[in-house]
Amino acid sequence: MLHSVSSQPSSRNQSSSLRRALSVLQYVSDRANETRGVPLSRIAEDLKISKSSVLRLTTPLLDTNLLIRDRQTGWFRLGHGALRLGQAYLASLDLRTVAAEPLRRMQRALGETCHLVVYEPPDVVYIDKVENDHQVRMASRIGNRVPAYRTAVGKAILAWLPEEAVQEAIERGMTAVTDRTLADAEALRADLQRIRRRGYAIDDRENEEEVRCVAAPIFDHSDEVIGALSVSSLASRMKPARVREVGPLVMRYGMEISRVFGSAKVPAEIPAEVPRE
């Protein structure tokens, strides 16, 4: 019993030390772009910890190579142990798994069919779909492939790909399937510019006669586009004014998923929610 009572302060002290050591690690991580590192005095001053405490707290971080200390300057920066942790984290991520819960929240928020896709040039491949609660069902199916140029999800991806990737998609053919399909290379490029400016893509009955879609890209830790998510509805329900409301919300969910993958992209100010129709 005496042992149990005396161990409680020790446990609390260890927990407090761990939190403070992690705060030091986070502080250095947030300044990783400062290639020379961060001086001891600055860490102590900004975190309001004595220099001796910083040295004590960083000892296990240095031992595990989460931090390294320059032998000449004494400044701290991230070590290769942090890289290994990051690589292990990224290796454990699967787009469909990571996006599953946000995609379902988006569907509940908007009450329309939502999709998740990846890009396999020149097509997008649907890897998840959450149906709406209406009688009308979208024609899309998990596993379906559709040319990227005529879908919102495809254009959301193309807009952030290099020009050579866009050119490749164009050269694979741009057949019109509705009277609103962008089947002209310059028209597509102009639309991709608009998408980059506003942050989301629109399929205005370009793939299916009576369907409008709004999509946003998903980025990885290097800020490269790895997929897209969308909301789709009959054009009679998804009118242009509604598209302008929904677009920023789809962006928000796209950025939420992107942050899990380590993306540092920051979207424009967007609303927390959009009312269902």
The CA distance from 24 to 50, in Å, is: 12
Whole-prediction pTM: 0.73
Burial environment of residue 238 by CB neighbours within 10 A (0 to 12, 13 to 18, 19 or more):
buried
DSSP states along 22-47? HHHHHHHHHTTT-TT-B-HHHHHHHH
Domain count, the chain: 2
Give the confidence band of 268 by pLDDT, cuts at 50, 70, 90: very low
Select from 90, 115, 145 the last residue of a domain. 90
Model pLDDT for residues 197-218, shown as the tens digit of each residue = 999 999 999 999 999 999 999 9
With respect to residue 276, please indicate whether it lies within any of the assigned structural domains.
no
Give yes or no: residues 133 and 200 share one domain: yes
CATH number of the domain enclosing 239: 3.30.450.40
pLDDT given for residue 142 in this prediction: 87
d(Cα 23, Cα 20) in Å, to the nearest integer? Answer: 5
Q: What is the pLDDT of residue 127?
A: 93
Residues 130-169 pLDDT 10s: 987 665 566 778 888 999 999 999 999 999 999 999 999 9
Determine which of 119-133, 166-180, 226-240 has the lowest per-residue pLDDT on average.
119-133
The pLDDT > 70 percentage for the chain reads: 88
Question: Is residue 1 pLDDT above 50, yes or no?
Answer: no
The domain containing residue 27 runs over which residues? 2-90
Q: Is 273 helix (H, G, I), strand (E, B) or coil?
A: coil
For all residues of the chain together, what is the average pLDDT? 89
139 and 228 inside one domain = yes
Instruction: Name the pLDDT band for 117 (thresholds 50, 70, 90).
Output: very high
Domain membership flag for residue 274: no
Tell me the CATH number at 22.
1.10.10.10
